[in-house]
Amino acid sequence: MKINRIHRYSFLELRKAWRIMRLTLFLLLVTTSISFATGLYAQNTQINLKAGVKTLQELFSEIEDNSEFIFIYKDNTINLSKTVEISEDTYSITEILERTLKNTSTQYKIIDRQVIFYQTNPLPITPQDKRTEIRGRVTDAKTGEIIIGASVVLKGTTIGSTTDVDGNYSFEYPGGRQTVVASYLGYTPKEVTISSPQILDFKLDEDAFELEEAVVVGYGSQRKVSVIGAITTIDVDRLKVPTGKISNSLAGRLAGVIAVQRSGEPGQSSNFWVRGISTFGENKNPLILVDGVERSLDLLDPEDIESFSILKDATATAVYGVRGANGVIVVNTRRGKEGKPDVNVKIQSGILAPTKLPKLANSATWANMYNIARTSHGYAPLYTETEIEKYRNQSDPYLYPSIDWVDELMKDYTTSQRVNLNVTGGGPIARYYVSGAFYNENGLFIKDPSHEWDSEINYKRFNFVSNVDVNLHRTTVLKLNINGVLEMKHQPYESISTIFNQAVSVSPNVVPLYYPDLDEFGNRRYSEATGGNIPNPYNTLTQRGYNDNWWTKINAIMALEQDFSELITPGLKATVKFSYDSNSWNQILREGSPHTWYAKNRDESGNLIYEENSLGSNTLGYTSYANGERALYLEGNITYNQTFGEKHNVGGLLLYNQREYQIAASSSIGALPYRNQGLAGRLTYSYDDRYFIEGNFGYNGSENFARGHRFGFFPAGAIGWVVSNEKFLQGKYEALDILKLKVSLGQSGNDKIGGGRRFVYLPTINSANGTNWGTSNTWVGGITVGEYANNNVSWETSTKLNIGLESQWFNGLRFQIDYFQEKRDGIFVQRKSIPDYVGVTTMPWSNVGKMKNRGVDATLEFDKQLGDVFLSARGTFTFARNKQISDDQPDYIDKYRNRNGQRYNQQYGLVALGLFESEEEIENSPTQYGVSYLKPGDIKYKDINGDGVVDTSDEVPIGYSNVPEIVYGIGVSASYKGFDLSLFFQGIANTTFFLGGAYFPFNYPNIGQTSFLADLEGKYFDPAKQNFDAELPLLYSDGWHGSNYVNSTWWQRSGAFLRLKNAEIGYSLPKPIANKLLLKSVRFFLTGENLLTFAPDVKLWDPETGSQDGRGYPLMKTVNLGLSINF
């Protein structure tokens, strides 16, 4: 029968998408039209001039001092010595120019605040103009673009000039040996010594230290030189890599971030922590702020990011109070800039393939190894040589199947696409940035082509950003942000982990994918083992239906900024900000059930004889779910920054905020809004850019605690010393540009301690067994306490120390290193030391947990221009080691079993001494893990406590945890004219995991539920070979053998690896060619992700997944072709 096509997304969702597109178009039209207002400043500005006779030079200087106009002109375009008589009055710029240039050949053009003079016919050269001159052009060394307004002077004098609109300069050469210095803000000055007049062109290199002058800090920004907190920033271009989520690009790129990506599933994010894990409580994640509001990092498109900062120490995070203990990530999105509309288009298309997949053994190998497992223990082989040969030659693939389920269920490769279009521009009144982005990634799973619906994986995301700034007044700015995200994910009905687990687990000879014959209704016969207790992974993937999810997120921010410098005092500003976030989630489940069969044999004619297993259904069921969340945020702050006497700089911040958010909940208590409010403050002082002191505080309240415990005070302080600015170092070490020392100490907090439990200070009541009452013998239910009340519950408190050093050498080598130490108190844990005789039925929860964390993070950067070649390198290193101080552990007899004093999630296991080599050795050894029989080839363990029995009491700390202590990255790049190349290597160390799963074959009572890895053939102990140096122990075929298959040093492996995370090669068209195409720039690029991996201990699958045997969706190797256009 024909099945009607089932649409994935509802009409309501399509209508919502259409509304978003209409809103996008409207905002694009409105904000683009704002750019035509750039001439309003010239029209509306009135300039007050003093009376008198003045030269044009004097007149223009007076105008520049009393307005925002600047004058740009080439040599010989205007006679600046000409005098004009001005009466005291108010004039427009047009009136002044028309009057002063009357009866001259000089023409002018006003572009926004720039007045450009020009002439069709240049002025005649006078004798004075014939004097010897130095002339030339100043350009950007990397891009070749001209630099307007650069200063070119003779060193030690005031003789010089600035570059004009074409980047040219010229001035009189006084003679003799002279040093010419060219400089511009954000570039490294360049000097050339000459002895005669000449044409002298300068190519200036960007000064990275100057370019990073403004650094984002908590609730604001500071000059880089004055930052004495531990803050890591990154060039956002380094985050623009071919991955669906930004968190997947963090590892190794930012010092202080520990990150791992466990799955390459489309739409999947990475796990990451700032300076590792500092608590074993519920919340370990950093606070993420986007434009000052708490939001998800992974919903951003990288092209929309302006700045990205990690706040790590107490002085940087104290202002966030109870939300800042785990570090803070501050992201600011791009905003509009004055000028004509600037349009950028970036298009990418990629091919994705698994980095590494486990290779499963075929049925012949599997059957042979199973026979070895049986004969090793005196059992007869289960499979005959004839059957094994049929498995090998596949002469009858339906009765003797040989299926590599991983290979059959997954495609060799898949695809992805990404598009971003953004426009920025504006005038003196309003500026805008508008962006639209689309990302699409397909999964590796196959589909059944006989269905009109599919079970493949597909993830789509649409992003829209509109940031508009409007000057309501010269000192008042209104900012409006509207952002929207629509995510859609289509996947199989069953979870992806279930499907992959079956693919790795089910033996290759259970059933074929499906049978070749159709049933009496013309439908395919899907296979399933008799009894249905062994799944067919193909059916699980393709026949169980599908699952559609979509998430809609609309975010809006409105901020009003007021500069009180003119009204009250210079440097005083205030901001009021309000945001509203609305998120919704919808899910549709279409559940199917296949009609399954099992073929046991063939009839005399060679036809398969089928046995019907389940009838299934020809239609898909329907279930839908929906919920939503909302958040309101209000913030008001006052900032002050002023310099007194040229050397004393004072800054301050006072801020109030409150947040209310409501989530989808399954109970009336959970549905109550969550609320936080707080005050934050900062006071900074610096002297002569040498000595710095800073104090911060957060005073926050949380409704999660009882009255009297809801508010907490979190102070922090820091001092800094820029040693390189001291007079005793001036001129002594020319190679040293910057040397800064800094120390900070303070506290921050964490109020998310109860997980999904609200109001953790209140008791919970559960139903319990009741009894029958009264003469009518009526049963009445009882109640019992679930969780005991604790009115003293409060937040976790984090005390952080940071000692840091920053330096810059040779004007291109930059180094920053920080040592950090943190103590976390008040971790909310369930008591474990209370003895049973106290009589409590449930152990209470309390703030008694303690933990320490310490480590080092560092960044090393280098830039160098060698002629037309620009070289750069960047390396990061993060080491974070934690220690569990107190988890209220039981009073163990064997003290080494106490987790206190160990890493969080420290792995425990037995100590393996090798393989037993004889029966005599077994008899003379302690009883091994409670098993009644052992054989040579089994693992021998150490009896740690010497009681003659190896059991859980002998498990000791071994290895590390599954979260790496070390993450590092090394990136290099080079550019030559229009070509550029970059490589980025990323690695982790100090992490371990245990092998398992497919390494323990035939250990289930039902052997059809166990597979065998092809690479393990010949690596197990074989009694026939007596290979006691075997990599793996003796195989068993009669179910679980507890002695060999427990966590121990035998099965523990290092998860360390180094991978070529990213490689990119690009080519930019020369500007003349791009300009002929009516474009500003064009760049073609080819990018690769996860290209090579080096892992000494993990050869069979990707080590970053942390898998015990390769089961799990693999990470993806990506090759991406892209085009970037600017016009």
Give me the pLDDT at residue 165, please. Answer: 64
CA dihedral 110→112→115→118, nearest 10 degrees, is -50
Based on the structure, what is the number of domains in the chain?
Answer: 1
Residue for token pair 């947990």: 849
Among the listed residues 1051, 1042, 1043, 1033, the one whose alpha carbon sits nearest the alpha carbon of residue 936: 1033
Residue 57 falls inside a structural domain:
yes
pLDDT digits (tens, 9 = 90+) for 1070-1104: 988 988 888 989 999 999 999 999 999 999 999 99
What one-letter code names the amino acid at 1014?
A
Length of the chain: 1127
Share of the chain above pLDDT 90, in %: 53
pLDDT at 212 over 50: no
Among the listed residues 747, 289, 743, the one whose alpha carbon sits nearest the alpha carbon of residue 555: 289
Parallel, antiparallel, or unpaired for β 545-563 and 1116-1126? unpaired
pLDDT at 11 over 50: no
Give me the pLDDT at residue 868, please. Answer: 87
DSSP 445: B
Rounded to an integer, the average pLDDT of 1-28 is: 41
Residue for token pair 């091919």: 351
Average pLDDT, the chain: 87
Residue 71 falls inside a structural domain:
yes
**CA–CA dist 787, 779 (Å, integer):** 25
**pLDDT tier for residue 718 given thresholds of 50, 70 and 90:** very high
Contact 320, 698 (CB under 8 A): yes
Residue 92 falls inside a structural domain:
yes
Among the listed residues 886, 704, 713, 699, the one whose alpha carbon sits nearest the alpha carbon of residue 790: 704
Residue 85 falls inside a structural domain:
yes
Among the listed residues 625, 339, 506, 416, the one whose alpha carbon sits nearest the alpha carbon of residue 1087: 416
Q: Token pair of 943, please?
A: 């009896």
Q: How many CA atoms lie within 13 Å of 54's alpha carbon, on the beta-carbon side?
A: 17
Rounded to an integer, the average pLDDT of 45-60 is: 81
**CA–CA dist 843, 1099 (Å, integer):** 44
φ, ψ for residue 476, nearest 5 deg: -125, 130
Contact 1041, 389 (CB under 8 A): no
Count Cβ atoms below 10 Å from residue 807 Cβ, excluding itself: 17
Residue for token pair 């489309």: 266
Rounded to an integer, the average pLDDT of 24-39 is: 44
Contact 324, 231 (CB under 8 A): no
Q: How would you write 782-804 as a 3-class SS string?
A: EEEEEECCCCCCCCEEEEEEEEE
Contact 387, 945 (CB under 8 A): no
Residue 90 falls inside a structural domain:
yes
pLDDT at 550 over 50: yes
Q: In this structure, which long-range contacts are made by residues 233-237, counting pairs with CB atoms below 8 Å and at least 24 apart in sequence?
A: 233/307, 233/308, 233/309, 233/310, 234/308, 236/302, 236/305, 236/306, 236/307, 236/308
Q: Token pair of 1121, please?
A: 């072709």
Residue 55, domain CATH = 3.55.50.30
pLDDT at 10 over 70: no
Rounded to an integer, the average pLDDT of 793-811 is: 92
pLDDT digits (tens, 9 = 90+) for 761-786: 888 888 877 778 777 788 888 888 88
Give me the pLDDT at residue 97, please. Answer: 84
pLDDT at 2 over 50: no
Q: For 474-544, list the strands marked E by DSSP.
A: 476-492, 514-518, 524-527
**pLDDT tier for residue 405 given thresholds of 50, 70 and 90:** very high
**pLDDT tier for residue 44 given thresholds of 50, 70 and 90:** low
Contact 639, 684 (CB under 8 A): no
Give me the pLDDT at residue 66, please. Answer: 80
Let me know the angle formed at the C-alpha of 90 by 89 and 92, rounded to the nearest 5 degrees: 135
Give me the pLDDT at residue 920, please. Answer: 94
Burial class (CB in 10 A: 0-12, 13-18, 19+), 182: buried
Give me the pLDDT at residue 194, please. Answer: 87
Rounded to an integer, the average pLDDT of 49-65 is: 82
**pLDDT tier for residue 112 given thresholds of 50, 70 and 90:** low
Q: Token pair of 752, please?
A: 């998310």
pLDDT at 665 over 60: yes
Give me the pLDDT at residue 703, please. Answer: 86
Give me the pLDDT at residue 4, please. Answer: 35
pLDDT digits (tens, 9 = 90+) for 141-184: 877 778 877 888 888 776 888 887 678 898 888 888 888 989 87
Give me the pLDDT at residue 25, please. Answer: 44
**CA–CA dist 406, 1014 (Å, integer):** 12
pLDDT at 976 over 80: yes
Among the listed residues 1016, 1104, 1089, the one whose alpha carbon sits nearest the alpha carbon of residue 1057: 1104
**pLDDT tier for residue 928 given thresholds of 50, 70 and 90:** confident
Q: How would you write 567-578 as a 3-class SS string?
A: CCCCCEEEEEEE
Give me the pLDDT at residue 337, please. Answer: 86
**pLDDT tier for residue 34 given thresholds of 50, 70 and 90:** very low
**CA–CA dist 696, 174 (Å, integer):** 55
Q: Which residues contact 109 (CB under 8 A, 6 or more apart)?
A: 115, 116, 118
**pLDDT tier for residue 1043 given thresholds of 50, 70 and 90:** confident
pLDDT at 7 over 60: no
List for the chain the helix, strand, coil content (%; round to 5): 15, 45, 40
Rounded to an integer, the average pLDDT of 829-846 is: 83
**CA–CA dist 1105, 194 (Å, integer):** 61
pLDDT at 991 over 70: yes
φ, ψ for residue 27, nearest 5 deg: -65, -35
Domain range for 92: 45-122
Among the listed residues 264, 245, 269, the one whose alpha carbon sits nearest the alpha carbon of residue 414: 264
Residue 891 falls inside a structural domain:
no
What's the distance, CA 975 to chain centroid?
Answer: 27
Q: For 891-965, list the strands marked E by DSSP.
A: 908-909, 912-915, 927-928, 939-941, 949-950, 956-957
DSSP-assigned states of every residue in 568-621: T-TTEEEEEEEEEEEEEEEEEEEE----EEEEEEE-TTSPEEEEEEE---SS--
Give me the pLDDT at residue 129, please. Answer: 41
Give me the pLDDT at residue 1, please. Answer: 33
pTM of the model: 0.80
DSSP 410: B
Residue for token pair 């060619």: 1073
Parallel, antiparallel, or unpaired for β 966-976 and 979-989? antiparallel
**pLDDT tier for residue 207 given thresholds of 50, 70 and 90:** low
**pLDDT tier for residue 71 given thresholds of 50, 70 and 90:** confident
Residue 74 falls inside a structural domain:
yes
pLDDT at 24 over 60: no
Rounded to an integer, the average pLDDT of 878-900 is: 86
Rounded to an integer, the average pLDDT of 834-857 is: 87
**CA–CA dist 607, 220 (Å, integer):** 78
Give me the pLDDT at residue 213, please. Answer: 60
Contact 1067, 1031 (CB under 8 A): no
Among the listed residues 797, 878, 804, the one whose alpha carbon sits nearest the alpha carbon of residue 276: 878
Radius of gyration of the chain (CA): 36
Q: In this structure, which long-range contacts are made by residues 1016-1023, counting pairs with CB atoms below 8 Å and at least 24 apart in sequence?
A: 1016/361, 1017/361, 1017/365, 1017/369, 1020/369, 1020/372, 1021/915, 1021/937, 1022/372, 1022/376, 1023/376, 1023/935, 1023/936, 1023/937
**CA–CA dist 364, 372 (Å, integer):** 12
201-210, 657-666, 835-844: segment of lowest average pLDDT: 201-210
pLDDT at 130 over 60: no
Give me the pLDDT at residue 1039, please. Answer: 63
Give me the pLDDT at residue 577, please. Answer: 97
Rounded to an integer, the average pLDDT of 558-562 is: 96
Residue 68 falls inside a structural domain:
yes
Q: Where is pLDDT greater, at 86 or 369?
A: 369
pLDDT at 894 over 80: no
pLDDT at 447 over 90: yes
Q: Where is pLDDT greater, at 71 or 1121?
A: 1121
40-44, 700-704, 790-794, 830-834: segment of lowest average pLDDT: 40-44
